[in-house]
Amino acid sequence: MEFDLGPERLKLQKRIRDFCEGEIIPRAQENDRKEAFPWDLAKKLAREGLFGIVLPRDYGGMGLDVLSLCLVLEELGRADAALALTVESHNGLCANHLFLHGNEDQKRRYLPRLASGAVLGAWALTEPGAGSDAASIKTQAALGGGGWILNGSKTFTTQGSVAGIYVIFARTDGDGKPRLTAFVAEKGVPGLGVGKIEKKMGIRASDTAQLHLHQMRLPAENVVGQVGGAFKDAMRVLDAGRVAIAAVSVGIARAALEEGIRRVKSRPADYGLDIPSPGLTYAQKTLAQIAAEIDAARLLTHRAAWLLDSGKPFAREASMAKLISGDLAMRASTEIVDLIGPEGGSLDSPAQRYFRDAKLYQIGEGSSQIQQLVIGRQLLNG
């Protein structure tokens, strides 16, 4: 593993950072208050090529590696974690599932539109009674009429109401055993309905919705991967997604740190920095600790990305990166709100937005407790 990002990755990082400074950060507070999906910014993200970062050029993507994706997502996480989730879930879940497990006809049919941002992608796994336990989902798919008929509900589907292409999981049990199968569906197919749009404590400019499947008919060619084999496929996609979501969490922590630095520099007397002191002030100690932990979390994330890019086993390292970065985002944003004081809780302060967003990143795509379970199992069974 090399620590030099190289000129091309650094150029990409700077381009996205400048884009965030000019286009996203000035709108982040407003978009959070409106709780509305920012279609205009999504179109600008598409023009930047950010909906096909790791997809090969043959399918209209940028053909970059996962480490480059992490650099992009850290910058987006620093700017607006809600918009970062749109890019992360589109790239890491829906598009990646089709790329990893779809057949060539499916790749040619769906990936160019996803890569260009002509349509957004959604990955519908979670259900009201099946959160972290994907094997217990109840949505059913049964053969009938020359294809498949799906019935059930999904919840907390990112891009649920704004997507054009969906990867949807359902049970196709056989031999008395619960088995999952993935299906690809397009917006407007009869039987696919959008339910409640979730109002969330954080990442409020990210679209999250319920889906209702009622006698939704799909042809046999819409099965993604093998019938009954989607549980393993989903776990592979989630492992890769955890690398990406860790990068966003690092960005949130970095944004919180930068807000803390700005606050302390602008009011040094409030933090005991206007007089010589032989020891560390509370502010210095807090900022130093967060800065050190951000570097540590970033290195864990980059290690997981490097392993993934190298074709090496990476699942445990992905869970470690997700665990550490998610907990750090929550802790850093909490400590910065505390450092700022009452003003940090004002809706005019970005600090409170980092705090609310961080909590949901600590939970999404496998909570900290799930990551501990994954890591613990590998340690004991390895």
CA distances (Å), origin 225, targets 154, 164, 174, 221, 265: 20, 20, 16, 10, 55
Residues with pLDDT less than 70, the chain: 131-132, 134-135, 175-176, 275-280, 382
Rounded to two decimals, the pTM is 0.94
Domains in the chain with CATH codes = 6-120 (1.10.540.10), 122-227 (2.40.110.10), 231-381 (1.20.140.10)
pLDDT of residue 87: 97
Which residues, in sequence order, are bridge partners of residue 143?
148
Burial 67-93 (b: 16+ CB within 10 A, else e): bbbbbbbbbbbbbbbbbbbbbbbbbbb
The whole-angstrom separation of Cα 326 and Cα 216 is 37
pLDDT of residue 267: 87
Q: Which pairing describes strands 121-124 and 165-171: parallel, antiparallel, or unpaired? A: parallel
Residues 6+ apart with CB under 8 A from 269: none
Contact 28, 80 (CB under 8 A): yes
pLDDT of residue 258: 98
Catalytic residue list: 365
The whole-angstrom separation of Cα 158 and Cα 200 is 12
Tokens at 30, concatenated: 């407003």
pLDDT of 109-156, one tens digit each?
Answer: 999 999 999 999 999 999 987 766 766 889 999 999 889 999 999 999
Tokens at 221, concatenated: 């060619």
CA distances (Å), origin 30, targets 72, 197, 233, 290: 22, 19, 38, 27
